[in-house]
Structure formats: C-alpha cells, structure tokens
Structure 1
Amino acid sequence: MLRIVEVDNPKRKCSFIDFAHDHYATDPHYVPELYIAQRDHLDPSKNPYFDNAKAALFLAESNGKVLGRIAVVDDVIFHRHAERDTGVFGFFESIDDERVSTALLDTASKWLASRGLKAMEGPYHFSTNHSCGLLVDGFGHAPSLMMPYNKDYYARLLEQYGLQKKTDVLAYRIQQEDFPERLRRSLPMLEDRFSKAGIKVRPINLRQFESDVRMTLDVYNQAWSANAGFAPMTDREYLHAAKDMKLIMDPELVLLAEKDGKCVGFSLTLPDANQVFRKIKRGRLLPTGIFHLLFGRRNISSVRILALGVLEKYRRMGIDAYFYARTFEYVNRHPSYRSGEASWILEDNAEMNNAILKMGGQEEKRYRFYRMPLR
C-alpha cells in the first residue's frame, strides 16, 4: 500500500538521500552528491539558509520500499523578494508512476497551503541560489557541478499534475578551441581601459578568503535581482556556500574587479568536480572515495562558469567580456582543462545568450522552472 511519510528521524533522512543512488543505479550520466554535503544542506542546524526558511521532507513508500521523495519550503526571503505567497518544492524523485508522483505533489501542496501560501514553484534545492530546475533537454550529457539531473519522464509527471512552465534556463558548452582568439587578444586593451578608470582585476586571495567573499555579496544580490525566482542571500548563507566551494576552487578562475577598494564585479568559475564525484560510490568518502577526491582533480577537463556579475554603473566598460576572456586564456594554458559550461542563463536574456553564442558557445542542456496555483 502506498503511503507518504515525513522524514522525521536519521534513518529516514538517510533513505531520503540514498533513494537517488538506487533510482539512478544504471544511469551512466548520474553523479552522486557527496553524502556529507547533502546531509548538511538538509540540516537546519548546519545550513544558515534555514535562518529564514522552514522545510519538510517526505518519502513515498510501499511495502517498505522507497518509491519517491520530495521537499517543500516556506522561504520568507523568497516570498518577500521574489514571489509573494509562493512556496517551493524540490528534491523531487519518483518512479514512473503517476500515483506516486501525485501523492508526493499532493502532500507538498497541502503542506504549503496549510502555511497560507497560494502557489508552488520549483524544483529548487532549496532556492535558485542552489541547484535548481528540471532537466528537459540534454539527457545525453552528465550534469556539471551543482547542476541538477533527472529522469526524462519527470516533465510529464509534473505537467500531468498541473504544473506549468514558468521559464527555461540554458547551459552552454564552450570548447577551448572555439573561444574567439580576438577576445583573448583584447585583454591588454581592456586592462589599459580599466587602469585609466581606476579599476583593477585580480584573482581571489585564499589567504583573505572571507573578506574577499564578503566583498562580492552586494554585487551578487544586485546583479541577479531581476532573475526569475531570485531571493537575495544573507551574509551567513553566502559565506557558508563559499566555504563549500573553497575545497575545489582554483583561485585563477575566481576574479574580482575593484575600484577604490570596492568590488564592482566578479566572476566565479569552478573546476567541474562532478568528473571526480561520479567515481565516488553513493557519495561516501570512506573507505575509498576520499582518494578520488584528493587525487582526481588533476584530471578534470572542464570548468563551470557559475556566476558573473557587474554593478549597473560599470556594465558598459567590458568587464564581463574581460572576465570571459581571462578565464578562457587560463583554460587554454591549463594542462587539463579543455572546455567550460556557462550555466545557467535565462532563455529570455537575449544580451547574455547572444554574447555566449558569439564566444563559441553551443546550447547543451535546458532546464525548466515550474509553477502552479495551490488547489
């Protein structure tokens, strides 16, 4: 008999995390998240996101077997800044059975409605500042770092329930050899322009990591404020996320533009550690996963451009083009990097999409945000 149970103890929390590993056991493109990272992300005592949010996790079970899972979130900052009276669902996984997906989504809807919310959107894990969206095109490719992956029938299950497309976001692949040489050659000219304007671009300094990260927070919250579903990050939440990234960070790929000691733009690119994580069985570092983590990064062949933002006042100076050119100039020199993924980009952001196409980018994956009124 099918039943939905709330995750209310450590055993069920473990089942919630482990279900994905079993569900994708034969899928060659699935990449397990590190167990310790996912456990901490779901833990209100360790993740400062929960300073302003309340979540519930649910499992679908039948005869002792887990058939699906879902999370729901009431995020105060999200419905204050992004979507009023809207709750979020995420971490959705289900076997290909409409009874199971409907039971999970019904439970999510009722939980959100009980808190006075009028609409539901997602999937976000837990917000658009985290892994988000449903993969709807590009199933022949493994996901890049911090990007989602799912079964190809999930869109059908969500749409059968009544969820409708809110927007799509895109992931572009840029091969090292396709990046225009003219942009790399523009670096000295742009540096001269910046120097005359009192702007300096430098890599992040890992010895002053926290202060450098805090410098970029205002840029992040301002530059992304118009994005679909965006909610600003708090200082605690932002620093927490940055510390997780520091473990795999290549400082030459994290660039800060400064003027008069203030950050006016930054770009964040990380080695695609998913190429290492996919070899770590069930996301467990012990007994052997730790060795993949320690020694595997030297063979990573791709990077992911996660974020690139410039304050409005400085957007016509070529800082964004400089970030891309300097990043790929470094990729070109690096012994193992061969390509980069730029993700995610809103489908209706014509300026950004056109810029990436001109840099040799090709659309590789498409993700969808869904929304529906609560019944």
Structure 2
Amino acid sequence: MIKIVTVSSKKELASFIDFPHDLYEHDPNYVPELFIAQRDLLTIHPFHKHNTVQPFLAYEGDKIIGRIAAILNNAHNKFNNANDGFFGFFDCIDNKEVAAILFKTAADWLKQKGIAGKFIGPVNFSTNEPCGLLVEGFDSPPFLMQTYNAPYYADLIDGLGFVKNVDLIAWHWDDKSYDDKSVRLLNALEERLKRSNIVIRTINLKKFKEEAEKLREVYNSAWDHNEGFVPLSDDEFDYLAKDLKLILDPDFALVAEQEGKIVAFGLALPNYNEIFQKIKRGRLLPTGIFKLLFGRKKIQSLRIYALGVIEGYRKMGIEACLYGTIIKEYKRKGMKQAEAGWTLEHNDMVNRAIEAINGNPYKKYRLYEKQI
C-alpha cells in the first residue's frame, strides 16, 4: 500500500531532503547536497515570497520510496503569459506505480491552484537553479550545481506521457584537450576591445554588493530569450550572489566593463562536488566542515557556470576574451578537468563556439512537459 504524505513538519522535511542519500547509497557517482543548503532552499529562499512549493513523500509502510515537489511559479507565468505548473526534487525507486502516484499528486495539487497549462520539469525551482533530468552521461559524478539521477528515471517519466521540452548540454575538457587559441589571441583581443573602451577585469569583492547590483541587470538581460527563463527578483539574485561569494575564486569571476557599465560577465566555480561527495549525508557537523575547509585548495576541476553578454555587445570578441582568461587561469592553477554548461541544444552560436575550443558534449539533461 503506497501512502502519500504532504510534507509540513521539520521532521518530514528532513526526511524529504535525506531520501536520495538512502536511494543512492551504493552509487559511486552520487554527490549528496548539503543539508543546510537544501533546507534553506525549501524554506527561506526568496522564491517563496511570491511562489509556492509543496513537497510530497511516498511511503510503503514506514519506508520512504519516493519524493516530488509541486511548484507554482507565478513569476514564470506572469513573464511568459502562461498558466504552467512545475515539478522538481523528483526521486523514486524503480517502480512505475510509485512514480505515477507521485506525479498525479503533484499535478492534482497544481490543478487545485488553478493551473491548466503545461506540467514542466524537473526544475528546482526554475532554470535559474539546478534543473533537467540526466539522460546521457551516467559514468561520472555531476559537477557543482548540476543534477544527478539513475538511468531508469527517463523510462518512468516517458511512461507517464511526458515528452521532451528541450535538452541541455554539458561540455567537458580534461587538462590537455582544450584549444588554447583564445589564450594565444587574448592580448590582441583585449587591445581591440580597449579601442571601444571595454576592459576585462575581475570582480571587486570589496565592493561586492555594488558589483552584484550591476551583474543582476546583465544576468536578467543576457538570458531573457532563453527557453524557460524567468528574471530573478532582486532578493533572489542577492541570495544567489551571497551563496556564490562563499565559493567563488576571484580569478574566475570576470566582468567586461565599458566606462563603468558592466556589459558582460563570466563566472567559473571550483567544483566543490569533489568535497561534497565525501561529506556523509550532506552534514557539515561534526566532521564535514573540516573536509570542506581543508579540501578547498585541493579542488582539481572547474565548472564554467555562466557567461553572458548583453544585446549590442555580442560578436565583438568579449566572449572569447572571457573564455580565454578563464582557460589561462585554469592552466596556471594546474587544474585537471573543466565543465561548461549547461547550454540549450539549439543555441547554435554558443555551441559552435564551445566545439571550436574542443568541448566534448558529455552529458545531456532533459526538461519534460505534458498537458496538465
């Protein structure tokens, strides 16, 4: 007998967060999310000020066998003039009946909220956060802020009548596979940009709040035509920036600036999943905090997290300068692996540029949809 529990208490929320640790206990590629980060995401994140998230757990007896969250994203619906609902945080044993009950529960909750459009996911909570179901590339752990799931998930979701909305591509390099043409041309490219009064510099951490305000405008402008994009509110961007500041390496946090106006930025992050994979059940206490503190300088991989240029400044060489500077620092620090992504499968301009520097499309994530 399968029982669905609507998560409402702290204890139920902890069980919701912890379920994947048990499900993937013997999977060598699984990386636990930090408990405190997941708890805050599901409770105090600014997303909740204007939107609603309802987690559910599936039980068989006293054993948890699945989880899902129904997500009412009012910002998405307003921005896109839509009436869609979303699902996220989906994890489940390999059982079609359990999956069907979880998805029906989430869909019914959304219908009660007046949703009558598409049912889209997985997103945690939107494409601004980790999203997509891994459908290719199960032979290595995910990089920082990327999703992970077992191969059978796709069969479960396909079997419920969902179809592909869009695929998201992650690109990989090892320490010898990248093309360093952009590094060799870096000085010439920077000189050309200077003639337009554009300079590439690192983010000023001493004035981080001021920098973040300018970056928010670039972020919401540079990605506004991306599928599923929803502009971040001021509070949401500040929350994201505050989190990223804790883990960023200033050498990989770059902006392109023209006479005080930031027109582009590129951000690559040390792949903290190398450390998180060793922190049991995502708990920093009592010993996880020491693994985090002492492991930071040993990280050997990098995720190119975001690179955006606002309209009117594209195809000037700014993208190549940002990539070139990141590659130069990656090489100088002796790192071993890098990932860029994700990118939309049909973003030909960006994908061709990544292919040109020998990026290998090694993982694919899928967003699904169906009529609710």
TM-score, normalising length from structure 2? Answer: 0.98
Are 1:39 and 2:54 matched, yes or no? no
Contact 1:3–1:62 under 8 Å retained in 2? yes
1:132-211 alignment, distance < 5 Å: 132-211=131-210
Q: Name the counterpart of 1:95.
A: 93
Any conservation in 2 of the 1:83–1:229 contact (CA below 8 Å)? no
Q: Which amino acid aligns with 1:7?
A: V
Does structure 2 retain, via aligned residues, the 8 Å contact 1:32–1:280? Answer: yes
Give RMSD over aligned pairs.
1.0
Please tell me whether residue 279 in structure 1 is matched to residue 274 in structure 2: no
Residue 348 of structure 2 corresponds to residue 345 of structure 1: no
Residue equivalent to 1:264: 263
Structure 1 partner of 2:303: 304
Cα distance in 2 between the residues matched to 1:255 and 1:235? 21
CA change 1:92–1:83 in 2 (3 A) is farther
What is the identity, as a one-letter code, of the residue corresponding to 1:19?
A: F
The 5 A counterparts of 1:1-375 are 1-43=1-43, 46-82=44-80, 84-118=82-116, 119-335=118-334, 337-374=335-372
Structure 1 Cα separation of the partners of residues 142 and 52 of structure 2: 28
Q: Residue 175 of structure 1 contacts residue 361 of structure 1 at CA under 8 Å; is this kept in 2?
A: no
SS of match in other structure, 2:149: coil
Structure 2: distance between partners of 1:149 and 1:83: 31
Kindly, what percent of the aligned residue pairs are identical? 45
CA contact (8 A) 1:30 1:142 kept: yes
Tell me how far apart the structure 1 counterparts of residues 144 and 22 of structure 2 sit (CA, whole Å): 20
3-state secondary structure, aligned to 2:247: coil
Contact 1:175–1:360 (CA under 8 A) maintained in structure 2: no
How far, CA to CA, are the matches of 2:163 and 2:247 in structure 1? 36
How far 1:295 moved relative to its partner? 0.7
Q: Give 1:176 deviation, angstroms.
A: 3.2
Q: CA deviation at 1:313?
A: 0.6
* CA distance in 2 between partners of 1:236 and 1:261 (Å): 24
Give the whole-Å Cα distance in 2 for the aligned partners of 1:24 and 1:161. Answer: 23
Matched letter for residue 159 of structure 1: D
Instruction: Please give the alpha-carbon distance, in whole angstroms, between the structure 2 residues aligned to 1:211 and 1:162.
Output: 47
Per-residue deviation at 1:282?
0.3
Unaligned residue ranges in structure 1 (runs of 5+): none
Letter in 2 for 1:236: D
Judged with a 3 Å threshold, the aligned counterparts in structure 2 of structure 1 residues 96 and 246 are, in CA distance, closer, same or farther, namely same
Q: Secondary structure at the match of 1:324?
A: helix
CA distance in 2, matches of 1:83, 1:326: 39
Give the CA deviation at 1:11.
0.7
Deviation track 1:223-276 (CA, whole Å, cap 9, x = no partner) reads 111111110001110110111111111011010111121110001110000001
Pairwise CA distance, 1:83: 6.4
Q: What CA distance in whole angstroms lies between the structure 2 residues aligned with 1:264 and 1:255?
A: 11
Q: Distance in 2 between matches of 1:290 and 1:224?
A: 35
